[in-house]
């Protein structure tokens, strides 16, 4: 028996899991933090806050599971993607981290798009650059805070910073690096030609390794700060989307994940670096087998419901919102929500996209608003699923994860809108589980990802089947949803 530690550094909290290599999950702890918005369009976090909250979480795990904590033999990571930590040569952050939600780099994005055409972006990045990605964020720093880049020793992704605090190793992994829009995704290395072309310092881009490779070991300083034994091997880890894929048991073609968390994603495992020629979706390196993941992202999925809860309705918890939504018939009497509260990525790639309710009438109340938000977010995710099918990526079953998987009504909405069976993993924290499996496999505790997944990944007995009459209704509303964006795009400035 071995104990593995998996850490998931998210946008709204850090979570950590202790996994017994034979018996399964021992314990999970989490600690929340906020996104700082110092100016409109900005989204930042202090990397030191991540580390402080990580130490808090590890402290609670140690206090509650002292014996198992002292038996940890491997550490793995999962983390929010696209954001950047610009650090000096000693690893000290030079400014707050710029997150994936950040919209400040619109002008820089326009400049990038005026120099690079779709063909070049597709062949190299397999993606289109977008606000919140490392490329435009670094170009913003070059223009507005050049002194930061002059002092920079490394640009890291969020989870890389926590791994650095544990091992002293300034490095990244290919999954996170491929989500920067400065990476040659097919070659699995930095696109130094593009980096040089745009005048960014080449020396700040760190070594990139595969996710299961060992990055180093727990240092004495880390031991003194959070109690982990010195010398425990630590793997590079991966972006949260790839770790979550592994935690959901999706590491073969033909299966799709629908994740509704702060943001939302539809993703699939693919063996080759296939990509949408219109660059409406993203293709990034996967964490295993030198494969890839293709996915579409909606920026405000669970965040849309959170916005409605806190800023509009003043409701205490999400459970009550699910109950309210359950009381309303599918379609909400024609009420449709566009969840573009912070611009949108897939498929529009429009940082100026705006949210809206369409079809309001006197007969509708807060229950209708709640269900309409759930339906609108799911319509947005269907946009990605539609593109997958255009690319020949087929599936019969969707695996739901994230906070949306805790709501029966939202799970049924997904089954009806996607017209697919929907099932849910028994373990709630799939990204943490994926981080554990990566660490256990990379350190030789498991023989393979498949072996670990067979042992720990199981699904709830209930499967959500599409209801034919709901499928037909949603098909009509989905067409209206798409037409609403087209009709209003010119006003979204």
Q: Which fold has domain 1-239?
A: Nucleotidyltransferase; domain 5 (3.30.420)
- Kindly report the CA angle at 86 between 57 and 171, in degrees rounded to 5? 70
pLDDT for res 314: 92
| Closest to 444 in 3D by CA, of 74, 23, 174 | 74
Identify the band that residue 459 occupies on the pLDDT scale cut at 50, 70 and 90: very high
Q: Write down the catalytic residue from 240, 276, 383, 416.
A: 240
In the predicted structure, residue 428 carries a pLDDT above the cut 90: no
Identify the band that residue 106 occupies on the pLDDT scale cut at 50, 70 and 90: very high
β-sheet with 421-424: strand ranges across? 282-285, 292-298, 264-270, 256-260, 397-401, 421-424
> Is 81 among the annotated ligand-binding positions?
yes
Phi, psi (rounded to 5 degrees) for 27: -165, 150
The stretch 397-403 carries a mean pLDDT of 91
Q: Do domains 1-239 and 249-423+462-492 have the same CATH topology?
A: yes
Phi, psi (rounded to 5 degrees) for 482: -70, -40
- Measured CA to CA, the distance from residue 1 to residue 3 in angstroms comes to 7
pLDDT tens-place string over residues 22-35: 999 999 999 999 99
- C-alpha distances in Å from residue 110, one per residue of 117, 146, 274, 351: 11, 19, 25, 11
pLDDT for res 230: 97
> Is 356 among the annotated ligand-binding positions?
no
- Measured CA to CA, the distance from residue 97 to residue 80 in angstroms comes to 12
Burial readout 196-215 (b: 16 or more C-beta within 10 A, e: otherwise): eebebeeebbbebbbbbebb
Return the CATH architecture of domain 249-423+462-492. 2-Layer Sandwich (3.30)
In the predicted structure, residue 396 carries a pLDDT above the cut 90: no
List of residues 6+ apart from 141 with CB closer than 8 A: 86, 98, 148, 149
- Measured CA to CA, the distance from residue 294 to residue 238 in angstroms comes to 15
State CA 287 to chain mean position distance.
14
Burial readout 79-108 (b: 16 or more C-beta within 10 A, e: otherwise): bbbbbbbbbeeebebbbbbbbbbbbbbeeb
- Measured CA to CA, the distance from residue 187 to residue 189 in angstroms comes to 6
pTM comes to 0.91
- Measured CA to CA, the distance from residue 381 to residue 374 in angstroms comes to 11
Check: CB of residue 463 under 8 Å from CB of residue 421.
yes
pLDDT tens-place string over residues 259-315: 998 889 999 999 999 999 999 999 999 999 899 999 899 999 999 999 999 999 998
In the predicted structure, residue 488 carries a pLDDT above the cut 90: yes
List of residues 6+ apart from 152 with CB closer than 8 A: 86, 87, 88, 94, 201, 204
Identify the band that residue 95 occupies on the pLDDT scale cut at 50, 70 and 90: very high
pLDDT for res 10: 94
In the predicted structure, residue 2 carries a pLDDT above the cut 90: yes
State CA 392 to chain mean position distance.
24
Phi-psi region of 142 (alpha: psi -120 to 50; beta: other; left: phi over 0): alpha
List of residues 6+ apart from 70 with CB closer than 8 A: 229
Q: Where are the domains of the chain?
A: 1-239, 249-423+462-492
Answer yes or no: 240 catalytic. yes
pLDDT tens-place string over residues 248-267: 998 888 889 999 988 899 99
Q: What is the mean pLDDT of the chain?
A: 95
List of residues 6+ apart from 386 with CB closer than 8 A: none
Check: CB of residue 259 under 8 Å from CB of residue 414.
no
List of residues 6+ apart from 225 with CB closer than 8 A: 55, 165
pLDDT tens-place string over residues 163-209: 999 999 999 999 999 999 999 999 999 999 999 999 999 999 999 99
- Measured CA to CA, the distance from residue 407 to residue 202 in angstroms comes to 46
């Amino acid at each position: 028996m071995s104990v593995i530690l998996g850490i998931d550094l998210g946008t709204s909290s850090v979570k950590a899991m202790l996994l017994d290599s034979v018996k399964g999950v021992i314990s999970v702890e989490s600690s929340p933090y906020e996104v700082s918005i110092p100016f409109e369009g900005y989204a930042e976090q202090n990397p030191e806050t991540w580390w402080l909250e990580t130490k808090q979480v590890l402290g609670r795990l140690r206090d509650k599971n002292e014996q198992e904590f002292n038996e940890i033999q491997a550490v793995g990571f999962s983390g929010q993607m696209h954001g950047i930590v610009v650090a000096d040569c000693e690893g000290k952050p030079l400014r707050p981290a710029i997150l994936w939600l950040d919209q400040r780099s619109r002008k820089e994005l326009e400049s990038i798009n005026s120099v690079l055409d779709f063909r070049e972006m597709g062949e190299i990045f397999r993606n289109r650059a977008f606000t919140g990605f490392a490329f435009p964020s670094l170009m913003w720093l070059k223009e507005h805070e050049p002194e930061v880049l002059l002092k920079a020793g490394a640009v890291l992704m969020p989870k890389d910073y926590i791994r650095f605090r544990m091992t002293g190793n300034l490095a990244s992994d290919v999954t996170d690096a491929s989500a920067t829009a400065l990476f040659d995704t097919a070659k699995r290395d930095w696109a130094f030609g593009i980096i040089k072309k745009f005048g960014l310092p080449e020396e700040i881009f760190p070594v990139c390794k595969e996710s299961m490779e060992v990055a180093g070991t727990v240092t004495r300083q880390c031991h003194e700060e959070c109690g982990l034994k010195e010398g425990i091997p630590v793997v590079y880890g991966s972006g949260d989307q790839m770790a979550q894929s592994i935690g959901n048991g999706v590491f073969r073609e033909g299966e799709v994940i629908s994740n509704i968390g702060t943001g939302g994603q539809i993703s699939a495992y693919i063996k080759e670096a296939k990509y949408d020629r219109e660059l409406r979706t993203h293709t990034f390196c996967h964490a295993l087998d030198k494969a890839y993941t293709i996915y579409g992202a909606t920026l405000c999925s669970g965040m849309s419901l959170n916005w409605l809860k806190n800023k509009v309705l003043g409701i205490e918890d999400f459970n009550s919102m699910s109950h309210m939504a359950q009381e309303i018939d599918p379609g909400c009497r024609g009420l449709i929500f566009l969840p573009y509260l912070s611009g949108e990525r897939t498929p529009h790639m429009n940082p100026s996209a705006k949210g809206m309710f369409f079809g309001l009438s006197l007969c509708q109340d807060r229950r209708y608003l709640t269900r309409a938000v759930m339906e609108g977010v799911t319509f947005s995710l269907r946009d990605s699923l539609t593109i997958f099918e255009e690319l020949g990526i087929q599936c019969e079953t969707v695996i739901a994860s994230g906070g949306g998987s805790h709501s029966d009504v939202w799970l049924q909405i997904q089954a009806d809108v996607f017209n697919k069976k929907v099932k849910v993993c028994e373990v709630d924290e799939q990204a943490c589980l994926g981080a554990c499996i990566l660490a256990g496999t990379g350190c030789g505790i498991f023989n393979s990802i498949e072996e670990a997944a067979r042992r720990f990944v199981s699904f709830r007995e209930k499967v959500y089947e599409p209801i034919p009459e709901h499928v037909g209704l949603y098909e009509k509303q989905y067409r209206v949803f798409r037409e609403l964006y087209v009709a209003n795009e010119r006003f979204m400035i």
